[in-house]
Amino acid sequence: MERGTQFIGQSGAFLDAVERASRAAPMRRPVLVIGERGTGKELIAERLHRLSTRWDEPLVTMNCAALPETLIEAELFGHEAGAFTGATKARAGRFEEADRGTLFLDELGTLSMGAQERLLRAVEYGEVTRIGSSRPIRVDVRIVAATNEDLPARADRGDFRPDLLDRLSFEVITLPPLRVREGDIAVLTEYFGRRMATELGWEEWPGFADHVVRQMEDYPWPGNVRELRNVVERAVYRWDDWGEPIGHVQFDPFDSPWKPAGLPAPERAASPAAPRSAAASTAPDFDRIADLRAAVDAHERAILEHALGKHRWNQRQTAKALGLSYDQLRHCIKKHALSE
């Protein structure tokens, strides 16, 4: 696969999903890929195509959420000239383009009920009819669909056709979120960091400081691998000294003291995937504290490491941000041996 479509990971949950995709690839049946944003649904779709007998035929991708409802059916099934306003000439749809190959339907849950009904017929009978035509066209297309929604629950509510769901779910591959992929955060961080350093022409790869590694492990990654790649690459390109370990990462690129004030955000219930601050990403386990002073010192050191990294080791700015005098900050740095 190309550089941008490599699978990086070693956790059992991730490897199980990749293995299931590999086993399903030679089949002609539809496959449904489910996962949060940024978990690699499109990569799985490409794997299903490349390892199938259709590998040298077209892989056609359509994001169902990227088009208004009025155009989705025309995109999927095509149209004849004059079928609707603006249709000046006939156009083949994605099904015809993917004939003998694979059609990947991303964001499947956004399809209207009318489009779902026509999709069901195309999947069931291998026929599509262009808008404005009465003549069906035979197509040989393998369907791979993806969503981040709970489609069985939507089918129970009447928001999604149960018969279409049954037809598309010959195999269902559910991708694990990054926060449960044990060991993969470190592997991905190293991979994306080295790749960015090479792109920038660094002579060496310094790695990340220990406190940054801990922050990366504690962060919940609501955007999964896509978000991690952005965070790592941003941290590398902002770091000026490739001779020293990278000492700061910014998880929220919009975080700024000069951010324009907007309307207050509506209150939302806390969820496991909600972003947390890097300095206080996990609550301490008070029951396991046996040495109060050591626990307080460790917490103080973590705060100092984060603040110093954020302000690029500018000690006066760090002292001001923490409400300390310059001498107090110097004392704390010496106490925790951070200057080393």
Closest CA to 20 of 169, 197, 174: 174
Q: How confident is the model over 135-154, as pLDDT tens digits?
A: 899 999 999 999 999 999 99
Mean pLDDT in residue range 188-193: 97
Please state, rounded to an integer, the average pLDDT across all residues of the chain: 87
CB 78 within 8 A of CB 90: yes
Label residues 95-104 b or e (16+ Cβ within 10 Å = b). bbebbebbbb
The single residue listed with the structure tokens 């609707």 is: 84
As a whole number, mean pLDDT of residues 296-315 equals: 79
Rounded to whole angstroms, the Cα distance separating 279 from 111 reads: 41
Residue 326, pLDDT above cutoff 90: no
Query: How confident is the model over 94-112, as pLDDT tens digits?
Result: 999 999 999 999 999 999 8
Question: How many degrees, rounded to 5, is the angle at CA 308 between CA 307 and CA 310?
Answer: 65
3-state DSSP percent of the chain in helix, strand and coil, to 5? 45, 10, 45
317 versus 108: which is more confidently predicted?
108
pLDDT of residue 311 exceeding 80:
no
Between CA 311 and CA 339, with CA 318 as vertex, the angle to 5 degrees is: 85
pLDDT at 180 over 80: yes
* Cα–Cα dist 170/21, whole Å: 12
Which among 78-92, 156-170, 265-279 has the top mean pLDDT? 156-170
More reliable by pLDDT, 162 or 305 = 162
Task: List pLDDT tens digits, range 201-215.
Answer: 999 999 999 999 999
Question: 113 vs 4, which has greater pLDDT?
Answer: 113
Burial (CB count <10 Å: 0-12, 13-18, 19+), residue 68: exposed
Fill in the amino acid letter for 284.
P
Is there a contact between 106 and 41 (Cβ–Cβ < 8 Å)? yes
pLDDT at 281 over 70: no
Helix (H), strand (E) at residue 335? helix 326-335
Residue 291, pLDDT score: 79
Measure the CA angle with vertex 58, ends 53 and 59; round to 5°: 90
Bigger pLDDT: 252 or 313? 252
What pLDDT score was predicted for residue 337? 80
Distance separating alpha carbons of residues 48 and 99, to the nearest angstrom: 16
Q: Alpha-carbon dihedral of residues 135, 89, 72, 223, nearest 10 degrees? A: 130
What pLDDT does 266 receive? 58
- Of 152-161, 260-269, 272-281, 323-332, the range with the lowest mean pLDDT is 272-281
pLDDT of 275 higher than 50? no
Q: Which long-range contacts (CB under 8 A, 24 or more apart) does 40-43 make?
A: 40/7, 40/175, 40/224, 40/225, 41/106, 41/146, 41/148, 41/175, 42/104, 42/106, 42/146, 43/5, 43/7
Choose the weakest-confidence range: 1-5, 50-54, 220-224. Answer: 1-5
Q: How does pLDDT run across 1-41, given as a tens digit for each residue?
A: 444 457 899 999 999 999 999 999 999 999 999 999 999 99
pLDDT band at 83, cuts 50/70/90? confident
How does residue 331 score in pLDDT terms, banded at 50, 70 and 90?
A: confident
Residue 276: predicted pLDDT: 43
CA-to-CA distance for 2 and 52, rounded, in angstroms? 17
For the chain, the distance separating the N- and C-terminal CA atoms, rounded to the nearest angstrom, is 43
Q: How big is the chain by its Cα radius of gyration, in Å?
A: 26
Lowest mean per-residue pLDDT among 60-69, 185-194, 223-232, 278-287: 278-287
Name the residue with higher pLDDT: 43 or 319.
43
Percent of the chain with pLDDT over 90: 59
Claim: this prediction has a pTM higher than 0.85: no
Q: What is the rounded distance in angstroms from the CA atom of residue 208 to the CA atom of residue 202?
A: 14
Strand 137-138, strand 127-128: pairing: antiparallel
Q: Which residues pair with 62 in a beta bridge?
A: 105
Distance, in Å, from the CA atom of 146 to the CA atom of 192, rounded to the nearest integer, reads 25
pLDDT tops 70 at residue 252: yes
The per-residue pLDDT for 5 is: 56
pLDDT band at 72 (very low <50, low <70, confident <90, very high): confident
Q: In angstroms, rounded to a whole number, what is the distance separating the alpha carbons of residues 274 and 268?
A: 10
Domains, in order of start, for the chain: 3-176 (3.40.50.300), 182-255+277-335 (1.10.8.60)
